A and B are shown apart, each in its own frame.
Chain A
Amino acid sequence: MAEVNLNEPKVFRKLRHRGRLSQIPIYLGKQLRFFVNQSDWKVLPMAAIIAALVSMVIRKDFFLTMEGNLKGAFALTCVGIWNGCFNSIQAVCRERPIIKREHRSGMHISSYIVAHMIYQFALCAGQTGLSMYVMMMLGVQFPVPGFMTPWMIVDIAITMLLITYASDMMSLFISSLSHTTTGAMTVMPFVLIFQLVFSGGLLPLPDWTKPMANFTISNYGIKAIASQSGYNEVPMVTAWKTLDSMRNNEIGGTVTLGQVMDLLDSQAVEKRRDMEIMKSFTVGEAADILSKADDTLHLRDKEVTHSFTLRELLTGLKESDAFQQLRDFVLVPAAQPAPVEEAAEPAAEAPAEEVTAAEPVEETAKPAVTVGSLLDMLLENEDTKAALDKELGATMTLGQVLDALHAEDVIASVSDKQLNQPVTLGQAVDFLKNNEALQNQRDREFTFKTTIGDLFDLVGEENVKRVVQEKTAAASHKDEYERTVDNIVDNWVVLVLFTLAFAALATISLELIDKDKR
């Protein structure tokens, strides 16, 4: 043995060991053996169970309503984050001392992390595929076609995979920071709570906390899924459902006519004075409307029973306006007690019909017989009483009546004739306000009692439903959930960036493993 001069340059035989790239398969192999021998495969059935549970909640209205859409987006994002987080939260910290030993023996941390990335990607893809299949099996209806691909299920699966994978890398980073599995599992709930609370989906955030949402995977996951499933294109149903559930609730109260009339002066009415509340109809249009209504109401089949006595008929005739004009028409002039010859002369001058209807001239003075007196006499005559009080009548359907009247022909002949002028709200209000009879009864009280359902029926349930759903949907419209390629791709890109950033952070933090205390 000889003394050595350490200042002399040393020449080494070039011994090259495995580089970063060729170390990846070593660790990939270890991961796969872990999957088989250490029950890592259990995450797959777990993912299926979680997907089944979520499906039961979201399957009914995922793609049908705004609420269902948001609920579904939130639930799927939670599933992705949960699966991803629990895939790798213990992956590094459980073997940290082993990594330290291997790092000492020449293992490259980047190779180790890349091997994890490849393995975890396969695991996430498996979980996503399984989850989608379970959802489909349990009745979540994915519409066809999709937006980015020909199948919506593939669209959603891509987003789910990106969410799961980004979460997986996030927990890989946490696992790289933690020295023990207990430490990692202690941090995990806080991270999950942060992800869920600051997702900005179901829980509305105050403005000052919104920037925090930009740092959550869940925020971009929800945006992507809500955009893909057309959040802005479906109705919002909660308000209508709430109203509908109050259908049997009774409402009522006492108001004066004056209070009701005062409503006519309100700004709301004033603003809408020009609103047409009744358009003009032609006879044909009115007939069409009635005809369409008859399809559901079946008015033509309604039986019309008309029963009356001759007395009622004559009494009605007697009271009619037309009859009043005839009432004083003299049928037989008054007769004075005079010789028969004198009396016969004017009778000869009378019109023929009057002559035929005239009573034989009596000897005594007699009042003139008018149409009115004749009718009175007839109604008061005891001999005709039985005949007059006998019931007459028939039962027919309204259709038969209309047919008998040849209503269709009549309507056809005047179908283009305008029935009315359009009526504006202003005109109607003016009419009511200027109506003296109404004004005179301003203090008259009305007690009304009804149900919300009856009000729906009054206004038209479909109208109320449509208006409520349209208005609430418009109020809930969100640009960030608009179904556009830009929106979806932007969110996908951010999720990929999260993945890469967390993987890089995991590598950096693990590079410091040599500083661990022994």
Chain B
Amino acid sequence: MEILEILLLIFLNTELSPFSIGRSLLYLVGLFFIFRKCGVQGWWALIPWARDYKLGVCAGREPEGRGLCILSFLTTIASLVARYIDPQSNFGLFMSFVAFFLLLLDLFYQIRVYLGLIEVFGREKWWILPWVLAEALVAPLWGLLPQFKPLWTVQQIQSEAANFFSGSKAKVLDNGLTVNLEERTATEFFKKKYLLRDIHMYIQPGHMVLLLGGSGAGKTTYLNAVNGYEKAKAEVVLNGTNMYKHYKEMQYDIGFVPQLDLMRGSDSVFRTLMDAASLRLPKDFSKADRQARVEEVMKIFGLTPVKDNLVVKLSGGQRKRLSIAMEFISNPSLFILDEPDSGLDGVMARELFQQLRKIADQGKIIIVITHTPDRVIDLFDDVIVLAKDAKRTGRLAYFGPIEEARTFFGKEKMEEIVKSVNREEEGGEGRADEFILKYAEVQHG
């Protein structure tokens, strides 16, 4: 009898009473049919804990489903432990508190998942009350009645582009940047997720490259993979050196300017640059050499008049220039900038990009992410377009000269290109798969 009770607790999350068992079975039947309506296999409803995750998936709220799954598992463990301890003992009281705490969290996650489900089924929000108070009745109602239909389902991806890869690799030369990225993955809740796949390119030295893509297309992930900060399954070669193998040596040959101005407001411009020089320049640089380099960089970026000002007192444009100057101090071969023009007006942004153009003309490679590319597009040589395929993986939709990009996408402006690859629900044209496939075929030859 005890084993039966434990099995009921694990599989049905209920106790040994006809009413409780009946209620749980009703709920599971309802869940079975809801899963099927949502495009998830119905038998998941029979798997304890996993059914909570799948319910989250059906509701379009996977993270909450994950939380619900973990909480459900912990609640079961707590219930099992509670069976074997004296509820009046200190440990029993402690476990009661833990169980109460878990139940509160569980309820919180349940509400979020049910709200998602209500949204997916296009119903009014007041349905949350019946769901919370009488899930055993509502679940079969929604599962069995044909008028309860989800507005969208968990799709079985059949996209051709998502499953087609170019298979070609970019050439590796002793000068310039070669990126041969097979895949960049992340594991979330025991599941492998592809963030980027099949990106191959060679960028010539002296080129200033624009990196375009909608939000979530993987632009920053791509840049982090290129500079070796977050390694991918890839071969990245800068001026003939594999950056992944020699990251320590190459670390100072790459300048990465983050989107935000990440500097301490309490330092002066000069001190900020001196400290940056101390970190980035080799140890055999004397103090006088470092100071000379700082003076030189301040002059290049027009910071000499404000050298003694605190960073907190600088204008937006000055801060951007200081942020770039910090990376430029080590004279890197590859310069990556994540939205350097955010918060700047058109004039200041153009001035900034003109400075970057001058740096590129010294034989450096500059890769820039910007959301307002058209005002400075004449300063760029190439463009990289990243887009999410049907499986939500970042893919290369185009890499090459600006003019050819206009022809490839049939768009004049860069912002229109971004719009064309963005998903429809994001206000785009949803043609990402088309261009991904087209570009992959071009590469494949």
Q: A-side interface residues toward B, CB under 8 Å? A: 1-4, 6, 10, 12, 15-19, 22-23, 26, 29-30, 33-34, 36-38, 95, 97-98, 100-102, 104-107, 206, 208, 514, 518
The answer to whether B280 and A105 have CB atoms under 8 Å apart is yes
A37, B266: Cβ atoms closer than 8 Å: yes
Q: Is the pair B172, A4 in contact by a Cβ cutoff of 8 Å?
A: yes
| Cβ-defined partner of B276 (8 Å) among A6, A15, A22, A105 | A105
Picked from A15, A18, A95, the residue with its CB within 8 Å of the CB of B264 is: A95
Least distance between A105 CB and chain B CB atoms (Å): 5
Q: Tell me, in angstroms, the Cα distance from A102 to B326 when the chains sit together.
A: 10
CB distance from A162 to the nearest CB of B (A): 29
B122 at the binding interface (Cβ < 8 Å): no
Q: Give B408 Cβ to nearest chain A Cβ, in Å.
A: 25
Looking at the assembled complex, report how far the CB atom of B261 sits from the nearest CB atom of chain A, in whole angstroms.
Answer: 10
Asked whether, in the complex, the Cβ of A208 is within 8 Å of the Cβ of B90, the reply is yes
In the assembled complex, the Cα of A29 lies from the Cα of B249 at a distance in Å of: 27
**Count class of interface residues, chain B:** 35 or more
For A97, give its contact among B175, B256, B262 (CB under 8 Å). Answer: B262
A106 in contact with B279 given A3-B173, A33-B271, A518-B220 (CB within 8 Å): yes
**Residue B339 interfacial (CB < 8 Å):** no
What are 18 A-to-B residue pairs whose CB atoms are below 8 Å? A2-B174, A3-B171, A3-B172, A3-B173, A4-B237, A10-B246, A12-B249, A16-B284, A17-B281, A18-B279, A18-B283, A30-B264, A30-B267, A33-B267, A37-B266, A37-B267, A97-B258, A101-B256
A34 near B264 (CB under 8 angstroms)? Answer: yes
Q: Which residue of B lies closest to A37 (CB)?
A: B266
- Residue B346 at the chain A interface, CB threshold 8 Å: no
What residues of chain B have their CB less than 8 Å away from a CB belonging to chain A? 90, 171-176, 220, 229-230, 235, 237, 240-242, 245-246, 249, 251-252, 256, 258, 260, 262-267, 271, 275-276, 278-284, 310, 326-327
Return A88 CB to nearest CB of chain B, in Å: 16
Find out whether the CB atom of B282 lies under 8 angstroms from the CB atom of A17. Answer: yes
Q: How far is the CA of A38 from the CA of B312 in the complex (A)?
A: 10
A16 to B249, CA, bound (A): 9
Q: How far is the CA of A254 from the CA of B249 in the complex (A)?
A: 99
Cα A29 to Cα B270 with chains together (Å): 13
For residue A1, which residues in chain B have a CB less than 8 angstroms away from its CB?
173-176
Bound Cα distance from A373 to B171, whole angstroms: 159
- CB pair B252–A6 under 8 Å, yes or no, is no
Expressed in whole angstroms, the minimum distance between the Cβ of A242 and any Cβ of chain B is 32
Q: Which residue of A is nearest B90, CB measured?
A: A208
Which partner residue on chain A sits nearest B253 by CB separation? A15
- Residue contact A107 to B173, C-beta cutoff 8 Å: no
A106 lies within 8 A of B280 (CB): yes
Give A274 to B246 CA distance when docked, in angstroms.
Answer: 94
Point out the residues of chain A lying under 8 angstroms from B252, CB to CB: 15, 17, 105-106
The answer to whether A4 and B240 touch (CB under 8 A), given A17-B283, A29-B275, A98-B263, is: yes
A105 to B326, CA, bound (A): 10
| Chain A neighbourhood of B271, CB < 8 A | 29, 33
